[in-house]
Amino acid sequence: MPLLSKAWRMILSYIVIASLWVFFSDGMLNALGLTSAQQEQLQLFKGLSFILVTAALLFLLVRNYQRINRRATEALLRSEKRLRNALEAAEDGMWDWHLSSQILYCSQGYAALLGMTQAPPQAEADYWLQRVHPDDRENLERELNKCIANRDTAPFQRSFRQLHTNGQYRLIQFRGRLLLDTKQRPERLLGTASDVTQRRKDEESLRMSAVVFDTTQEGVLVTGVDKRIVHCNPAFIRITGYSMAEILGQSPSMLKSGRHDKSFYQAIWSSVNASGTWSGEIWNRRKSGEIYPQWQCIRVIYGEHGEITHYVAVFSDISLLKRSQRELDYLAHYDPLSNLPNRLLFTERVEHALKLAHSEQRNGAVLLIDLDHFKHINESLGHDIGDLLLKDVAERLNQQLAPRMTLARLGGDEFGLLYETCSNAEQAAVQAQHLLNCLAQPYQVAGRELFVTASIGISLFPDDICDASQILRNADSALFKAKNSGRENYAFYTQELTEHARQHVELASALRYALDNQQLRVYYQPLLCLKREQVIGVEALVRWQHPTRGLVPPGEFIPIAEETGLIAAIDAWVLEQACRQMVLWRDQANGLLFVAVNVSSRLFGRGELDQRVAQVLQDTGLDPAFLELEITESAVMDNPKAAQALLERLRDLGIRLAIDDFGTGYSSLARLKRLPVHKLKLDQSFVNGLPHDHDDVAITRSVVALGHSLGLTVLAEGVEHAEQAELLKQLGCDLVQGYFYGRPVPAEHLQLTHMVDVHP
Ligand code: C2E
Ligand code: MG
Ligand code: MG
C-alpha cells in the first residue's frame, strides 16, 4: 500500500511537473519573441530535451525498481534457503494447500519423509490425502474442514499415519494454520510436517517404563554418582517403610542391616566397578527395624560419553520365599504329625554319624522301634485316635532323649532312634529296654486309657557297615526277629549279640534286685605283714549270692553296676558293712589293724566321697584309723588335680589310703610323690610271673624301691606260691595278699591265727 501510494505520488508529481513544463515552456518561448523558424527549432529542441529528461528519469526509476526487486528476491531466496535448511535440519517438511485450487504444494523434505526422492511439483491435495491411513483419513479431513469452516486461524497440530514408499505407515505430525485472504475468506492451509514415528515409540516405551517402574513388585532405587538416593519407586517405599521424602538425598547405607561386614560391601563395589553389575543376596533393615533378605541387582548407568551417571539397585524382598523354602524344607524333612524328623532326614543323620564313627573311631547304634499290633488300634478305634496315640508315643520317646540322640518317625507306627554315643551292645540294650518300659506305661487318649507295647531292632555301627541304608536294613531284620520272638522285646542283628546284651540287661535289673534283697555279701581276704608273717588287715570284697547262678564274682557285675550307676549304692553298702564288721573285730581285739575297702573309679571321680565316708564312720562309730580305702591307679591319674584334693580331704578324715592295682596305670612319679597315700598295692599281674619272669622280678624290685623311697608301704597282690612269698620277702616287700595266705571268705570264717600257723 505505501508502495502504491508512492507510485501514485510520483506519477501525479510527474503529470504536474510535465504539464507545468509544457504549459510554461511554450509561454516562455512565445515571450522570447523569437522567429517562428527559431521557435520551431527551439520547440524541437525542447521536445527532444523533454524526451531525454523523461527517459533519464524513467531509466533511474526502472533501475531503482530493479535494484529493489533484486534485493527483495535475494532476501526471499535467502530466507527460503534458511527455512529449507532449518526444515532439513529438523528433518521436517513443508506443505501449502491452496484451498481454491485444491493444489497442495509439498516441499522436498516432506516428500523425503514418505520415502520419495522427488516431490510431485503441484499435486492435488487428494494425492496426499490418499496416502493417509484409511482409519485416520476421515478424522483428519473432518478436523481440517472444521478449521476451515470456522475460519479458525489459531495454530493447529494433528498427527496421522501416512504411507511410506516402503509400504509401511509413518506417523506424521502436521503443524500449521489457516490463512485468510483480504476478504477474510479461507485461502490457504500452510504448515510443517514431521515424522514423529520414533518419537511416539520412544514416548510410548517411556510411558510403559514409567508404568513398570511404578507398578513393579521389585523395589527400585536410583542414586547419583555421589551415591545419594535420587529416585525410588512405590515398591521400594512399600518394602522399606520409608517415605519418598525420608529417603531422597540419603545414602543407601541407612538401609544396612549390620549383618554383613565391611569386606562384603567392598566385594559388591569392586564387582560393580569392574563389570558394571552385581547381583546377590543381601540383608537389609526396614524402617521398623526388622531385618530381611533381599535379592538385589545393582547396575551402573553410563552417560553419553561413557561416564558413570547413576547407579540403579533393583531388589525383591525374599523373606517370604525364604520362609516358604524353610517350610518346604521342613515338610521334606519332618513328619507333620509328630514334628519329628522323617525317614529322609533320619537317613542323612545316620549317614553323617557313620562317617563320624569311621573318622573318630567311635561306635553308635540305630534302634528301630515299632509298635506292636498298632493296626488293631486303628481298626477298632479309628485313625483319629490312632494318630493321637502316635503323637503321645512320639512325645514320650522324645522325652527320653539324651544329647546326640536323634528320634525320627520313619512312617506309620515305626520310629527310629540314632544313638551316636552308644559304645557297645550293652548300652544299646539298656536304652532299648528303657524305651520299652517307658512305652508300656498306659496312655490317656481322648478320655480313654490305652496300652501299647513296642518291639525294637538294633543295629550297631560301624562294624563293617559302610552305608546308612545297610544300617537300617540290619535294624529292620533285627526288628523282624524281635517281633518273631514274641514282641515287646528287642533284638540285635546277630543272635550272639542279642543273647549277650539280653543277659547284660537282665543282670543289671537282677543286680538292683540283689541290692534291695540282701543278695550281696562282703567277703574278707587277709593282708599280712611279710616280716612278722602276721595278718594285720583285711580287704573287703563284694560277692553276689545269686539264687540260681551261685556266688558271682565282682568282675562280672561291678562293670554293670558302674554303667547303670548302681555302683554308688553297692560301694556305700560294702563300706558300711566293712566298717560295722571292723567295729566288731575291734571289740573282739583280734589284732586286725585295718579293713581295706575298694572304691569305684566312677565314684571317686564324682568328688563327694569324703562326705560319704565321714557319714559312714559316724554312723558305724569306727575309728577312722582302722579304715583304708583302695583307689585304683587309673582313677587317680585320670584327673590328678581333683584326685589330689579329694585324697587330701580323705586323709584329713584320718583314714588310710592305698593305690590299688599299681603298675597297670600310667602314674607320673612327680604326681605320685605329692599324693597323700600310705600304700601301693602292686597288681597281681606282676606277682604272677614271680620268681621266674625276669621282667616281673625287675618291676617288683623297682616298685618296692620306689614305694620305700616315697615313704610308702608296698603290698603285693595275688601271692599264690611259697617261692613268690620268699622272693617278695627278699625284695623287701612289706605286705602280701593272696590265696597262698587265704582266700576271701565271709567274716565269720576268717581265721586269723590259723593262717599264721599254716604259713610260719
Ligand atoms: P582288687 O581290689 O584288686 O581285689 C583283689 C582281687 O584279687 C580280688 O578279686 C581277690 O579275690 C583276688 N585275689 C586275691 N588273692 C588272689 C590270688 O592269690 N590269686 C588270684 N588269682 N586272685 C586273687 P575279686 O574279689 O574277684 O575282686 C575283683 C575286683 O573287683 C577287685 O580287685 C576290686 O577292684 C573289685 N571289687 C571287689 N569288691 C569291690 C567292692 O566292694 N567295690 C568296688 N568298687 N570294687 C570291688
Ligand atoms: Mg582292692
Ligand atoms: Mg588289686
Range of lowest pLDDT (91-95, 270-274, 686-690): 91-95
**Length of the chain measured in residues:** 760
**What pLDDT is attached to residue 757?**
39
Q: Which atom of ligand 1 is nearest to the CA of 575?
A: 41
Residue 615 pLDDT > 90: yes
The pTM assigned to this predicted structure is 0.50
Q: Which residue's CA lies nearest to atom 22 of ligand 1?
A: 718
- Arithmetic mean of pLDDT, 499-524: 86
Highest mean pLDDT out of 98-107, 287-296, 486-495, 504-513: 287-296
- Strand 448-450 and strand 443-445: pairing? antiparallel
Give yes or no for residue 542 CB within 6 A of ligand 1. yes
Candidates 606, 607, 626; CA nearest to 616 is 626
d(CA 358, CA 352): 10
Q: Is 661 in the pocket of ligand 1 (CB under 6 A)?
A: yes
All cell numbers assigned to 461 = 555301627
**Alpha-helix residue ranges (DSSP H) falling in 291-342:** 319-333
Q: Are 495 and 703 in contact (CB under 8 A)?
A: no
Amino acid (1-letter code) at residue 567: I
pLDDT band at 8 (very low <50, low <70, confident <90, very high): confident
Three-state SS string across 244-258, please? Answer: HHHHCCCCHHHHECC
Ligand 1 centre distance from Cα of residue 541 (Å): 6
Q: Is the CB of 476 inside a 6 Å radius of any atom of ligand 1?
A: no
How far, in Å, from the CA of 509 to the mean position of ligand 3? 27
Q: Is there an atom of ligand 1 within 6 Å of 720 CB?
A: yes
How many alpha carbons lie under 13 Å from residue 201 in its C-beta half-sphere? 6
Q: Is 525 in the pocket of ligand 1 (CB under 6 A)?
A: yes
Rounded Cα–Cα distance for residues 605 and 571 (Å): 14
Cell output for 372: 506292636
Among all bound ligands, the one having the nearest atom to the CA of 664 is 3
293 lines ligand 1 (CB under 6 A): no
Share of the chain above pLDDT 70, in %: 98
From the CB of 93, is ligand 1 less than 6 Å away?
no
Q: Which of 745, 697, 695, 754 is nearest to 723 (CA)?
A: 697
Q: Is 744 in the pocket of ligand 1 (CB under 6 A)?
A: yes
Q: In terms of DSSP bridges, do strands 745-746 and 627-632 run parallel, antiparallel, or are they unpaired?
A: unpaired
Question: Atom 44 (ligand 1): residue with closest C-alpha?
Answer: 600
> How far, in Å, CA of 739 to CA of 532, rounded?
18
Kindly indicate the confidence band of residue 759, based on its pLDDT and cuts at 50, 70 and 90: very low
The pLDDT of residue 755 = 43
Lowest mean pLDDT among 258-262, 304-308, 325-329: 325-329
DSSP bridge partners of 668:
none
- Please name the residue whose Cα sits nearest to atom 37 of ligand 1: 541
CB 737 within 8 A of CB 719: yes
- Is any ligand 1 atom within 6 A of the Cβ of residue 630? yes
Tell me the CA–centroid distance for residue 541 and ligand 2, in Å: 7
For the beta carbon of residue 448, count every other beta carbon within 10 angstroms: 12
Residue 741, pLDDT score: 92
Q: Which atom number of ligand 1 is nearest to the Cα of residue 632? A: 34
Does the CB atom of residue 120 touch ligand 1 within 6 A?
A: no
335 touches 342 (CB < 8 A): yes
Check: CB of residue 665 under 8 Å from CB of residue 637. yes
pLDDT band at 371 (very low <50, low <70, confident <90, very high): very high
For residue 224, pLDDT beyond 70: yes
Percent of the chain whose predicted confidence (pLDDT) is above 90:
59
Instruction: Establish whether residue 742 lines the binding site of ligand 1, counting it when its CB lies within 6 angstroms of any ligand atom.
Output: no
Predicted confidence band of residue 562 (pLDDT cuts 50, 70, 90): confident
Measured from the Cα of 744, ligand 1's closest atom is 11
C-beta of 739 in contact with ligand 1 (< 6 A): yes
Residue 341: CB atoms within 10 Å: 21
Got the DSSP string for 458-520? EEEESTT--SHHHHHHHHHHHHHHHHHTTSS-EEESSHHHHHHHHHHHHHHHHHHHHHHTT-E
From 541, 567, 750, mutation site for ligand 1 pocket: most ligand atoms within 8 A of C-beta: 541
In 324-435, beta strands by DSSP E: 364-371, 405-411, 414-419
Residue 581 has what DSSP assignment? H
- Regarding the beta carbon of 526 and ligand 1, being less than 6 Å apart is answered no
Mean per-residue pLDDT, 413-441 = 92
Q: Is 562 in the pocket of ligand 1 (CB under 6 A)?
A: no
Q: Report the C-alpha dihedral over residues 112, 116, 121, 123, rounded to 10 degrees.
A: -110
CA distance 177 to 156: 6
Could you tell me the pLDDT band of residue 349, with boundaries at 50, 70 and 90? very high
Q: What's the rounded Cα separation, in Å, for the pair 129 and 194?
A: 16
CA distance 543 to 743: 13
pLDDT, residue 329, reads: 85
Q: Pocket of ligand 1, candidates 579, 598, 609: which has the most ligand atoms within 8 Å of its Cβ, to mutate? A: 598
Measure 554 CA to ligand 2 centroid, in angstroms.
Answer: 11
CB atoms within 10 A of CB 606: 12
With H, G, I as helix, E, B as strand and everything else as coil, classify residue 370. strand
Burial of 327 (0-12, 13-18, 19+ CB in 10 A): exposed
Which residue is closest in CA terms to ligand 1's atom 20?
Answer: 718
Confidence (pLDDT) at 702: 93
pLDDT at 694: 92
pLDDT band at 539 (very low <50, low <70, confident <90, very high): very high
Residue 396 has pLDDT above 90, yes or no: yes
How many angstroms does the Cα of residue 661 sit away from the middle of ligand 3? 4
Residue given cell 523434505 in the structure block = 109
Please give the distance of CA 177 from its chain centroid, rounded to a whole number.
Answer: 69
Query: Which one, of 255, 263, 299, lies nearest residue 278 by Cα?
Result: 299
Q: How far is the CA of 521 from the centre of ligand 1 (A)?
A: 14
The yes-or-no verdict on residue 498 having pLDDT over 80 is: no
541 lines ligand 1 (CB under 6 A): yes
Q: Which of 558, 631, 642 is nearest to 597 (CA)?
A: 631
Q: Answer whether 598 contacts ligand 1 (Cβ < 6 A).
A: yes
In sequence order, the β-bridge partners of residue 188 are 98, 179
Closest protein CA for atom 35 of ligand 1: 554
pLDDT at 119: 76
- Pick the residue whose CA is nearest to atom 12 on ligand 1: 718
Average pLDDT, the chain: 89
Handedness of CA 674, 676, 681, 685 (dihedral sign): negative
Closest ligand to C-alpha of residue 555 is 1
Chain center to CA of 330: 14
Query: How many angstroms is it from 715 CA to the middle of ligand 2?
Result: 11
Q: Confirm or reject: Cβ of 635 under 6 Å from ligand 1.
A: no
Ligand 2 centroid distance, CA of 514 (Å): 22
Burial of 160 (0-12, 13-18, 19+ CB in 10 A): buried
User: What pLDDT sits at residue 643?
Assistant: 85
Alpha carbon nearest to ligand 1 atom 23, residue: 718
Mapped onto helix, strand or coil, the DSSP state of residue 304 is coil
Per-residue pLDDT at 70 exceeds 90: yes
Q: What is the pLDDT of residue 756?
A: 41
How does pLDDT run across 708-755, given as a tens digit for each residue? 999 999 999 999 999 999 999 999 999 999 999 999 999 999 877 534
